[in-house]
Amino acid sequence: MTLIDQIYIDGAFVTPHGTDLFDLHNPATAQVIGQLRMADAIDAEAAIAAAKRAFASFSRSTKAERIALLHRLADTLDKRREDLIEATIEEYGAPISRSAWMADYAVGAFRLAAQVLEAYDFTRQIGTARVTMEPLGVVGIITPWNANAGFIAGKLAMVIASGSTCVIKPSEMSAIQTQIVTEALHEAGVPAGVFNIVTGRGDVVGAVLSGHRDVAKLSFTGSTATGRAILRAGAESFKRVTLELGGKSPMLVLEDADFGAAIPFALNAGFMNSGQACIAGSRILVPASRLAEFEAAISEAIAAFPSGDPRDPATAIGPMVSQRQWDRVQSYIAKGLNEGARLLTGGEGRPDGTQGGWFVKPTIFSDVRNDMTIAREEIFGPVLSIIPYADEEQAITIANDTDYGLHAYVAGRDEDRARSVADRIVAGRVIINAAPMEMSAPFGGFKHSGIGREGGSFGLEAFLEPKAVMG
């Protein structure tokens, strides 16, 4: 049993004022593996005060100092790579290969921020005005459980690059991963108070950050419902916000698509991170003329995406993070059946050979209409919907007929045609034919998928505000 009973304030590990305990689980066994002593509102206040004190000097640090610091953070985090991978498997249930990717992504976030900072000019002349990009002050960072280290690192890296300071409130369900990340960041010798980590409940610690007058900006990744609550709470003190929220991303399989390539692309996009991904391509739009062919091919290909023990290198889909998440996914599978979608593969219950843990059968429905609940709401599990379409015009209409606009995917042989379809999709990012992610491109969503962008210079500017001096 692991006991996490310290938080990180003003450059030191301290015992929280809060005394409530939270059970940590191994999702592959559903067993309790540890406990977290949670921070409370008083801890959040102390962390904000430390970040405010640190801002006075850190906001005047030089670009070179911050670049060096970002590289040190990458180095110290990289040294804990194996520990982080182990914790991500144990506490989150991510398959081995995904856990390794997640650890490397977090390290890479610091290196990328250093590169962006290197190239960024904080001062420019506009007419007679000298315009400087100023750091905002204390930033409240609130993150979810589905990529704990990556979200902490990505946001913290840009806060540091900007010269701001922060208080981080990670998900309470990722406390072991957070502990490793915090120890690694501490090793880098960051000036006291520049970052503080107070893990506690969202409606306690998160609520203090969202409403506090001394917090200038909130950077949040999580559900659309919580994003809305944070936006309301921040309005009182005119907080700047970056909200990275949910998605219901379309995978448009065009008429000329090569299914040999399109199907692995669709399954990888749909089942990434065990389906617990905001950018999952969960609506697969298929030409009605090729529906039977597509169904046959995807039913066969799904064998390469087994759900099971995250420590088995062959596993593609790990367990859901919690009983609550398992129940939620099961309820959506039941809704799909009730609303008349046709089950192609998977279904309710646990996959054969698993027991105890929160495992879900990789599930694909066909004949889904875009007005069915499974096509409208984010499921956050390995459940995909095939939606047939008559022609390209209708495919684009269906793709855009959603409250969300985070991501989209297009598969097609004719690349010009695929690009012209991509241009008409309302989404923050579109990936054509499994092209690799460009990490320095902006990331974020249209509509209910959020406000603002992360990544690259757009991500840095999210923590800066222009100031013009004339004369």
Q: Does 381 bind ligand NAD (CB under 6 A)?
A: no
Q: Which is nearer to ligand NAD, 58 or 105 (CB)?
A: 105
Q: Tell me whether residue 278 is one of the annotated catalytic residues.
A: yes
**By CB under 6 A, is residue 245 in contact with ligand NAD?**
yes
Q: Which of 88, 171, 177, 315 binds ligand NAD (CB under 6 A)?
A: 171
Q: Does 145 bind ligand NAD (CB under 6 A)?
A: yes
Query: Token pair for residue 249?
Result: 């991303």
Nearer to ligand NAD, 139 or 418 (CB): 139
**Residue in 23, 203, 256, 438 binding ligand NAD, rule: CB under 6 A:** 203
Among 223, 394, 420, 457, binds ligand NAD (CB under 6 A): 223
Alpha-carbon span 81 to 385, nearest angstrom: 36
Q: Does 406 bind ligand NAD (CB under 6 A)?
A: yes
Binding flag, residue 380, ligand NAD (CB under 6 A) = yes
Written as one letter, the residue type at 357 is G
Give whichever of 387 and 406 is closer to ligand NAD, judged by the CB atom.
Answer: 406
- Is residue 221 a contact point for ligand NAD (CB under 6 A)? yes
Q: Does 204 bind ligand NAD (CB under 6 A)?
A: no
CB of 371 to ligand NAD, least distance (A): 21
Residue 322 makes contact with ligand NAD by CB under 6 A:
no
Least Cα distance to 73 among 188, 181, 160, 183 occurs for 188
Stretch that binds ligand NAD, among 221-229, 282-290, 327-335, 341-349 (CB under 6 A): 221-229
Whether 166 is a known active-site residue: answer no
Other Cβ atoms closer than 10 A to 433: 16
In sequence order, what are the residues at sequence separation of 6 or more whose Cβ sits closer than 8 angstroms to the Cβ of residue 188? 69, 72, 73, 75, 76
Query: Exactly one of 86, 166, 278, 461 is catalytic; which is it?
Result: 278
CA–CA gap between residue 368 and residue 380 (Å, rounded):
17
Strand, helix or coil at 43?
Answer: helix
**Residue 151 CB, nearest approach to ligand NAD (Å):** 7
Q: In this structure, are strands 240-244 and 450-451 parallel, antiparallel, or unpaired?
A: antiparallel
DSSP 8-state assignment for residue 318: -
Residue 75: how many other CB atoms lie within 10 Å: 15
The pattern of x and - marking residues 408 through 447 that bind ligand NAD according to CB under 6 A reads ----------------------------------------
Q: In sequence order, what DSSP letters do the residues of 56-119 get, joined into one string?
A: HHHTT--HHHHHHHHHHHHHHHHHTHHHHHHHIIIII---HHHHHHHHHHHHHHHHHHHHHHHH
Residue pointed to by tokens 């970052």: 195
The C-alpha torsion from 60 through 65 and 70 to 71, rounded to 10°, is 180
Among 175, 190, 230, 252, binds ligand NAD (CB under 6 A): 230
Among 206, 308, 357, 362, binds ligand NAD (CB under 6 A): 206
Structure tokens at 49: 């005060």
What are the strands, taking DSSP E only, across 106-172?
Answer: 123-126, 129-135, 138-142, 165-169
Tell me if 210 contacts ligand NAD by CB under 6 A: yes
Q: Rule CB under 6 A: is residue 137 a binding residue for ligand NAD?
A: no
Question: Which of 90, 91, 172, 244 is labelled catalytic?
Answer: 244
Whole-angstrom Cα distance, residue 135 to residue 164?
A: 5
Minimum CB distance to ligand NAD smaller for 287 or for 382: 382
For residue 341, CA distances in Å to 145, 319, 386 come to 30, 24, 9
Please state at what angle helix 175-187 crosses helix 63-79, rounded to 10 degrees: 130
Instruction: Point out which residues bind ligand NAD (CB under 6 A).
Output: 142-146, 169, 171, 202-203, 206-207, 210, 221-223, 226, 229-230, 244-247, 278, 378, 380, 406, 450
Task: Please identify every residue annotated as catalytic.
Answer: 244, 278
